[in-house]
Amino acid sequence: MDLKIAVLPGDGIGPEISEQGVAVMNAVCEKFGHQVSYQYALCGADAIDKVGDPFPEETFKICMDADAVLFSAVGDPKFDNDPTAKVRPEQGLLAMRKKLGLFANIRPVETFDCLIHKSPLKDELVRGADFICIRELTGGMYFGEKYQDDEKAYDTNAYTRPEIERILKVAYEYAMRRRKHLTVVDKANVLASSRLWRQVAKEMASQYPEVETDYMFVDNAAMRMIQDPRFFDVMVTENTFGDILTDEGSCITGSMGLLPSASTGEHTPVFEPIHGSWPQAKGLNIANPLAQILSVAMLFEYFNLKEEGALIRKAVNASLDANVRTPEIQVEGGERYGTIEVGQWIVDYIKKA
Q: Please, which residues bridge with residue 154 across strands?
A: 147
Q: What is the dihedral sign for C-alpha 156, 161, 162, 165?
A: positive
Specify the DSSP class assigned to residue 137.
-
Burial environment of residue 333 by CB neighbours within 10 A (0 to 12, 13 to 18, 19 or more): exposed
Specify the DSSP class assigned to residue 12.
T
- Catalytic residues, by residue number, are 142, 187, 219, 243, 247
Q: Please, which residues bridge with residue 89 across strands?
A: none
Q: What is the dihedral sign for C-alpha 10, 15, 17, 18?
A: positive
Cα–Cα distance for residue pair 96/70, rounded to 1 Å: 12
Residues across the chain: 353
Cα–Cα distance for residue pair 254/195, rounded to 1 Å: 34
Residues 6+ apart with CB under 8 A from 199: none
